[in-house]
Amino acid sequence: MLDLLSKALQRERDAHAERFRILTGVAPVRQRVAEGVAWFPLRIREKGYGFGEYPFVVVERTGQTGPHQLGGGKPCQLFSQSGSEQRAVNGTVHWVTGNVAHIILRENEHPDWLDDGRLGVQLTFDASGFKDMVDALQRVSNADGDRLARLRDILFGHTSPTFAPLSSIQQISTLNASQNAAVDLALRANDVAIIHGPPGTGKTTTLVEVIRRCAQRARPVLVCAPSNAAVDLLTERCAAAGLDVVRLGNLARIDPEVMQHTLGERWKRHGMSADVKDMRKRADEFRRLAMKYKRSFGKAEMEQRKLLLQEARSIIADVRRMEQQVTDLIIDQADVVACTLVATRNEELKGRHFEYVVIDEAGQALDPAMCIPLLRAERVILAGDPHQLPPTVIDQQAARLALGSTMLERAITAHPSAVSLLTEQYRMNYVIMSYSNATFYEGKVTSHPSVEDRTIPDGAPLQESLLIIDTSGRGWEESPGEGSESLANKGEAECACAVYNQLMENDGHEKWSVGIISPYRGQVRLISSMLTEEQRSRTSLLDVDTVDSFQGSECDVIIISLVRSNDDQEIGFLKDTRRMNVAITRARRKLVIIGDGSTIASHPFYKGLWEYAENHATVISAWNGY
């Protein structure tokens, strides 16, 4: 299995690199600018040194103002075309505001040529994450007779986890029975425990309690997830529970709401920060004096420049030692260290081992990425749902080889005694919940009494909790989305807007949160373009996005456009029913599904959904007023 993972990962890396090569190519700068992957020309507004003494520049594009793809966290290359050949330095986009970008350089010093003019910046392919996964996979594969080897053998299904005997672990009154059972199992785990959280069952609430109790035993707890959004949510929730959280990672990808918990912000509040600031100023002054000597200068000036730069480097070495000491102290005293899976290999955690490593959204993680935090773990607690969105894999051969399944799926199948299923959900009413529950969770999930019967208010248009609008026979066929590889369906888009408008006719509609979602980004763009400002203003709680972007979110009303409508009954990636499980479990009070039954219901899952709605809810034809 590990050999297959290695081969699959290489294919996936090559696919990403090729996609980026096609995107950026070897085209002239003017063409790269037109494609939005480069800014040229630029002027420097500011330069300096940030936390960790990494040099940065703040640049402004002066030659164009069109759309672009630069964004926080993306790897980039700052270049100059002032000489006979292009000179460049790699970096990371920290933030972009309007036509201004803050770029952190991956060098110790600013390059001499920055002031020579004809500067530009372009996006680059970042292979570092793949390298980290390859290295971790190799170490996990080679482990022999140690803790890492045992965790590997358990998570790949070769040996069984063990648990301490049942004990009188404190029951939390704010948790339900299945949540308390999950906390108990996690705390008794000698090596691996799994929390399986179907939609709306309070997985995050349960996980925060697990983390709190683990931190009481051995702090800090390493908490990670595949995405920055999931890590930010856990950071917020852990902090709200009174835990001291340190958020590690690329600042450009961290939500501003959790910035106060980042290492850099924590550093600023430390007593040594003023001393470090003064030392940085001294180093900057030595650098400034050294940079006065450029190109044409004599031996004495060269020696003076060398001495000035040596003094600056000596000061910076002291700064970095002080920063590392304070960093170690901050992490040692924290209850929780939170970061993405890949960020667990960061320098701040070098040499550290954690008694408890908690991995959320494990069903969305590639196995090689999961291997990175395993290198630091004594015990591992996985949380997620294998029946929701899988990790994104762009190379289909890589998916078939090994990346199409996840560590979470295999562990749940191999070790049912290590799994706690959360069985009470607090989001959907009974009608909305039931098809997903029967199809994916063996009917084991129940609705809490507070949500079981809730609907939109009496007298509201489209009052049914579940409504399918069948577009069969309307001639609303799918088509390529404008300017994209995705698909769209104009008839369904108009229908979705009509349903939204009808809902907005009801008194009190401004209090409802509404999500209009589709599996296809082309359809999302089309629907967004059709909604006027007046229509959008009827509620401040409208969100139009892809199904994938909606995992973890919920709304009072969800309208889904399935898009696919063709004579061949081809439904593409709608065959992956995990995506549709996410879609149909986002609604609290009302779910409207728009789709061509003659195309969609050729698949058993959708045939069952149509039949369920006919028997327990409502199916109407799109000829009926849409």
For 298-327, write each residue's pLDDT tens digit: 677 777 777 877 887 888 788 788 878 888
| Token pair in block for residue 83 | 């000489």
Distance CA 58, CA 230 (A): 29
For 76-92, write each residue's pLDDT tens digit: 999 998 766 678 899 99
For 593-604, write each residue's pLDDT tens digit: 999 999 999 999
Distance CA 506, CA 456 (A): 10
Mean pLDDT (whole number) for 61-75: 80
Percent share of the chain, pLDDT over 90:
63
Domain 129-244+334-422 has CATH 3.40.50.300: yes
| Token pair in block for residue 239 | 């902090």
CB-CB neighbours of 273 under 10 Å: 16
Mean pLDDT (whole number) for 330-345: 96
| Token pair in block for residue 203 | 């997985």
Q: Comparing 129-244+334-422 with 448-621, is the CATH topology the same? A: yes
Q: What does the angle CA 529 – CA 533 – CA 535 come to, to the nearest 5 degrees?
A: 90
Judged against a pLDDT cut of 70, whether residue 294 lies above it is answered with no
Distance CA 87, CA 21 (A): 20
Contact 398, 431 (CB under 8 A): no
| Contact residues for 403 (Cβ-Cβ < 8 A; gap 6+) | 5, 8, 9, 12, 366, 367, 391, 393
Quote the pLDDT of residue 507.
67
Distance CA 56, CA 46 (A): 8
CB-based burial label for 142 (10 Å; 0-12, 13-18, 19+):
exposed
Quote the pLDDT of residue 280.
74
Pairing of strands 487-488, 479-480: antiparallel
- Give 118-180 as a 3 state SS string: CEEEEECCCCHHHHHHHHHHHHHHHCCCCHHHHHHHHHCCCCCCCECCCCCCCCCCCCCHHHH
Domain 23-125 has CATH 2.40.30.270: yes
Mean pLDDT (whole number) for 541-550: 90
pTM, rounded to two decimals: 0.86
| Contact residues for 201 (Cβ-Cβ < 8 A; gap 6+) | 178, 422, 423, 424, 425, 426, 445
Closest CA to 480 of 518, 531, 516, 521: 521
Quote the pLDDT of residue 95.
84
Query: How close are the terminal C-alpha atoms of the chain, in Å?
Result: 51
| Contact residues for 322 (Cβ-Cβ < 8 A; gap 6+) | 272, 275, 276, 279
Closest CA to 47 of 94, 104, 97: 104
Mean residue pLDDT across the chain = 90
Q: How many residues are present in the chain?
A: 626
Contact 336, 356 (CB under 8 A): no
Domain 448-621 has CATH 3.30.559.10: no
Closest CA to 91 of 101, 71, 77, 110: 77
Mean pLDDT (whole number) for 462-478: 92
CB-based burial label for 416 (10 Å; 0-12, 13-18, 19+):
exposed
Quote the pLDDT of residue 483.
53
Distance CA 179, CA 471 (A): 41
Q: Domain ranges for the chain, please list them.
A: 23-125, 129-244+334-422, 448-621
| Contact residues for 537 (Cβ-Cβ < 8 A; gap 6+) | none
For 182-202, write each residue's pLDDT tens digit: 999 999 999 999 999 999 999
Quote the pLDDT of residue 506.
76
- Give the CA radius of gyration of the chain: 27
Distance CA 110, CA 88 (A): 11
Coil/strand/helix, residue 28: coil
Cα-Cα-Cα-Cα dihedral sign, residues 400, 401, 406, 411: positive
Coil/strand/helix, residue 527: helix
Contact 418, 229 (CB under 8 A): no
Quote the pLDDT of residue 485.
63
